[in-house]
């Protein structure tokens, strides 16, 4: 043991932390190599336990988190490369800087865990503090809860589907808490390891039971249009009227094709984010052209820029009725900083404002359709923040443009997050992505139809039905927040002031 401890100092400990962070990233979508997490989390706890003090443990956690997020978020660079002429300088620093900020939320649990003795208390404090950090990530600096460990269970096939289901009761953050407790138990005695195995068996059994809960069919059909227009073309030709007309005609032609494939059904047509080069809220002629191409569809939903009378611009979803009128709209509320808007200080320096956020989550009530919960782009990655529970929809519609990220992990991870939202809320989702991956997802997170990356075409399939409100949907973020606080409280109970016990820093 002394040899191992002496070898785990300085750069060797940091190198091992970095390797474990990359290993943990392999468990995330699209690889979903979940067994790697049974090595990475116990390995990180081992490093924490052999750190000289809590500062050393936090540093090791910071290194783990930095390399974990760099491996999981490498695809962000693709978006910068689209604008390389202006932002070439950001290519080498953007992902490391973002990853460093996110790594802080792993460093803190590692530092705290070092303050209690090894064993189940350390694991409880580590897991609870990790999830509290993930909850903070959902709000700090506009929020970016990407690559939650819960997403490792979004693996292809029945096994992944089964192990996703508890998110309906405990949410994605609760699923992360369970994942850390189970994988971290490998660092404890055999008794805890067998307990973790038993927990996995119960976990799987509960998932199988939920999969047997039927969702009545909606009786409706969806036509999802995937135009496959590259972001480079948008940037190079976006101001060219002829190019805009060609793109619009492409979407109209695909819509006619999809409606024809739907046969006698009156479908719901969905175009992705930024699909229309025209401002549909103001352009009645463009709406009429869409309505004519979609006839006899019940409604067409499309991404567009919406302008208000004072020239304020919103990234929006609009509903085009069969007569070409504007049946409703939703303005994106959760904007991407520096991508869609500039904070006030940057606005002063750069002289740009970007989009203005909408008022928040809302439900669209459109004739002939179940109530719709619209989500634009990465709004779908925020657990417990996709549905207005007081006006619960029967269908989620996520429009997005993942063309920025190319054929990388980004679009696949985005789809994984969307699947978790359907399980959490018990609601089906129609997902229209400009360059893919477009999909229809049922209320159990099962993908019933999909159109892959870099393909132009239409997806025509039945719209799944919805399930009753889930426990996770009712509790929201309060559920996992309470679970995590409970874990931390139990771990620290013997060490709180007044118990005449001091915090021990044993190795």
Catalytic residue among 110, 231, 340, 377: 377
Cα gap 418→399, rounded to integer Å: 11
The total number of residues shown for the chain amounts to 507
Catalytic residue among 332, 424, 425, 488: 332
Number of Cα atoms under 13 Å in the Cβ half of residue 76? 22
**Annotated catalytic, 154?**
no
- β-pairing, 326-331 with 313-320? antiparallel
- Residue 22 CB contacts under 8 Å (≥ 6 apart), including other chains: 67, 68, 71
Report residue 502 as tokens: 């001091």
Can the peptide bond before residue 145 be classed as cis, meaning omega within 30 degrees of 0?
no
Report residue 61 as tokens: 């956690």
Cα gap 334→341, rounded to integer Å: 10
Cα gap 432→457, rounded to integer Å: 11
Catalytic residue among 154, 273, 340, 424: 273
Task: Tell which residue, 402, 477, 380, has the closest CA to residue 230.
Answer: 402
Give the 3-state secondary structure percentages of the chain, helix then strand then coil, rounded to 5: 50, 15, 35
Question: Rounded to 5 degrees, what angle do the CA atoms 126, 419, 461 make?
Answer: 175
CB 226 within 8 A of CB 432: yes
DSSP string across 352-404:
--B----SS---B--TTS--EEEEEGGGGGSTT-S--GGG--SEEEEEE-GGG
Cα gap 360→300, rounded to integer Å: 22
Report residue 142 as tokens: 């506009």
Cα gap 133→481, rounded to integer Å: 10
Beta strands in 182-283 (DSSP E): 221-226, 268-270
DSSP 8-state secondary structure symbol assigned to residue 298? S
**Annotated catalytic, 273?**
yes
486-494: list long-range contacts, CB under 8 Å, 24+ apart: 486/128, 487/124, 487/125, 487/127, 487/128, 487/177, 487/181, 488/124, 488/125, 488/128, 488/129, 488/132, 490/121, 490/124, 491/116, 491/121, 491/122, 491/124, 491/125, 491/128, 492/116, 492/121, 492/125, 494/121
Tokens 């609760």: give the residue.
174
Report residue 436 as tokens: 């893919």
**Annotated catalytic, 389?**
no
What are the two backbone dihedrals, phi and then psi, of residue 307, each rounded to the nearest 5 degrees? -105, 140
Cα gap 343→123, rounded to integer Å: 38
Catalytic residues: 273, 332, 377
């Amino acid at each position: 043991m002394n040899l191992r401890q002496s070898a785990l100092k300085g750069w060797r400990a940091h190198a091992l932390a970095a390797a474990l962070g990359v290993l943990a990233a392999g468990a995330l979508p699209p690889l979903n190599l979940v067994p790697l997490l049974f090595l990475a989390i116990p390995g990180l706890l081992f490093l924490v336990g052999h750190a000289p003090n809590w500062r050393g443990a936090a540093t090791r956690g910071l290194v783990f988190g930095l390399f974990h997020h760099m491996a999981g978020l490498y695809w962000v660079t693709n978006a910068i490369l689209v604008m390389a002429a202006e932002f070439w300088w950001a290519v080498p620093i953007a992902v490391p800087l973002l990853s460093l900020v996110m790594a802080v939320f792993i460093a803190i649990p590692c530092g705290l865990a070092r303050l209690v003795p090894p064993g189940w208390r350390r694991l409880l404090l580590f897991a609870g503090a990790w999830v509290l950090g993930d909850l903070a990530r959902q709000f700090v600096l506009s929020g970016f809860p990407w690559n939650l460990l819960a997403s490792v269970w979004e693996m292809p096939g029945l096994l992944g589907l089964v192990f996703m289901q508890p998110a309906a009761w405990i949410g994605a953050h609760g699923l992360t808490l369970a994942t850390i407790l189970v994988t971290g138990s490998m660092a404890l005695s055999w008794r805890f390891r067998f307990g973790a195995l038993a927990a996995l068996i119960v976990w799987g059994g509960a998932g199988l039971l939920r999969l047997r809960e039927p969702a009545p069919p909606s009786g409706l059909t969806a036509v999802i249009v995937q135009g496959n227009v590259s972001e480079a073309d948008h940037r190079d030709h976006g101001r060219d009227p002829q190019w805009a007309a060609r793109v619009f005609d492409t979407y109209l032609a695909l819509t006619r094709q999809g409606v024809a494939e739907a046969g006698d059904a009156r479908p719901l047509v969905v175009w992705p984010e930024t699909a229309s080069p025209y401002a549909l809220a103001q352009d009645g002629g463009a709406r009429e052209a869409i309505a004519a191409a979609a006839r006899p569809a019940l409604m067409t939903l499309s991404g567009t820029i919406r302008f208000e009378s004072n020239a304020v611009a919103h990234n929006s979803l609009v509903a085009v009725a069969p007569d070409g009128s504007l049946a409703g709209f939703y303005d994106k509320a959760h904007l991407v900083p520096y991508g869609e808007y500039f904070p006030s200080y940057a606005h002063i320096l750069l002289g740009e404002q970007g989009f203005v956020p909408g008022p928040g989550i809302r439900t669209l009530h459109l004739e002939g359709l179940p109530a719709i919960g619209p989500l634009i782009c990465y709004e779908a990655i925020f657990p417990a923040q996709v549905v207005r529970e007081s006006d619960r929809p029967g269908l989620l519609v996520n429009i997005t443009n993942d063309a920025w990220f190319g054929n990388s992990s980004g679009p696949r991870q985005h789809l994984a997050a969307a699947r978790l939202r359907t399980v959490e809320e018990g609601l089906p989702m129609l997902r229209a992505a400009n360059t893919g991956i477009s999909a229809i997802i049922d209320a159990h997170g099962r993908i019933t139809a999909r159109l892959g990356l870099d393909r132009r075409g239409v997806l025509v399939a039945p719209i799944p039905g919805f399930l009753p409100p889930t426990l996770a949907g009712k509790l929201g973020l309060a559920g996992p927040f309470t679970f995590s606080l409970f874990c931390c409280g139990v771990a620290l109970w013997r060490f709180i002031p007044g118990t005449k016990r001091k915090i021990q820093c044993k190795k």
